[in-house]
Amino acid sequence: MLTRDSRDPAARPRLLLSLLAIALLWPGIHFSELDLGVLLAGDSQSEIGHFVSAFWPPAHGEEFIQLLVQATLQTLAIATAGMALALLLAVPASLLASRALSLSAASRAGRPSPWGQLLRWPVRGVLIFLRSVPEIVWALLFVRAVGLGPTAGVLAIAITYSGMLGKVYAEIFESVDQRPAHALLQAGSGRLAAFAYGILPNVAAELLSYTVYRWECAIRASVVMGFVGAGGLGQQMDLSLRMFASGEVASLLLTFLMLVLLADQLSRLLRWRLA
């Protein structure tokens, strides 16, 4: 029996939220037509088995390796150039969209003035638009516009990723303690200086880790966009799949693995240096 002394006011909302989450999960499974039984059916198992068994040995001919190295470099270049372009847009947009630079928030207990909030909405809208169209769609568009090749991939990544980076950066800026920046604003500093002294030291590690993670995602995205002709490993993968050259597919997959591993290690190294 719950007495007044031992009752937790948060217990009922927590229970209700848990029930709600379960209630929402069921239609999700139902409407996505998820049926795990298919995996156990005999013919699909042998089909997958055939495909996978041909993976060994991975292709390692000299000519193919050369092709692979070139495609890998191209993929890395697409991802890096795309990220660099995306950052050019994402950093100013995140500063504009975030409450972290609000001068009025410093003297209103953290709530920006209505005008400030109103002005942040268009920037948020732009960021939403940029990331709501998947990069593969942008890639298809740009392949039409600038022709087959890496340029389309770079532009597609730049556009979608600026939207994602801008949104998440803005949220990271707002998620840390705002008091250091507010104290600086209250001592007469400019917005950007207060940001650099009050917010940046707290967010640097998270920004870096998210940026490297997004770079890793950009590598994968550039692979997918290769299928629609935007160059790199993906284009090579498309060709190999069409020719049923399973050995080549295996080598390509191994290369992906290496790249993701590399990104992971890079992130760890940078975070360790920054800590």
Partner 1 sequence: MTLHLSGASLTHSNGVHALQSLDLHIGASEQVAIIGPSGAGKSSLLNLLATALRPSSGDLQVLGEHAWQLSARQRQRLRARIGLVHQAPPLPPRQRVVTAVLAGKIGQWGLGKSLLNLMHPLDIPGARAALARLDLSDKLFAQCQQLSGGQLQRVGIARVLYQAPEVLLADEPVSAMDPVLAEHTLSVLSRHAREHNVTLVASLHAVELALAHFSRIIGLRDGQILFDLPAREVDRDLLDKLYANEQLQFSPVAPAPLSVQIPRC
Site residues for partner 1 per CB under 8 A? 103, 106-109, 111, 177, 179-180, 182-190, 192-194, 196-199, 201-202, 204
Please report how close the Cβ of residue 173 comes to partner 1 at its closest, in angstroms: 13
Helix, strand, coil fractions of the chain, as percent rounded to 5: 80, 0, 20
Nearest-Å Rg of the Cα atoms of the chain is 24
153 and 230 in contact (C-beta within 8 Å)?
yes
Please report how close the Cβ of residue 204 comes to partner 1 at its closest, in angstroms: 8
Residue 211 or 236: the one with the smaller Cβ distance to partner 1 is 211
Which token pair is 186? 């209250």
Please report how close the Cβ of residue 180 comes to partner 1 at its closest, in angstroms: 4
Which amino acid would we find at residue 157?
Answer: I
Please report how close the Cβ of residue 83 comes to partner 1 at its closest, in angstroms: 23
Please report how close the Cβ of residue 272 comes to partner 1 at its closest, in angstroms: 14
Please report how close the Cβ of residue 188 comes to partner 1 at its closest, in angstroms: 3
How many C-beta atoms lie closer than 10 Å to residue 135's C-beta?
Answer: 27
Q: What is the DSSP letter of 1?
A: -
Separation of alpha carbons 180 and 106, rounded Å: 10
CA angle (138 as vertex; 256, 243 as ends), nearest 5: 45
DSSP letters along 4-66, please? TTT--TTHHHHHHHHHHHHHHHHHHHHHTT--THHHHSHHHHHHHHHHHHTTPSPP--HHHHH
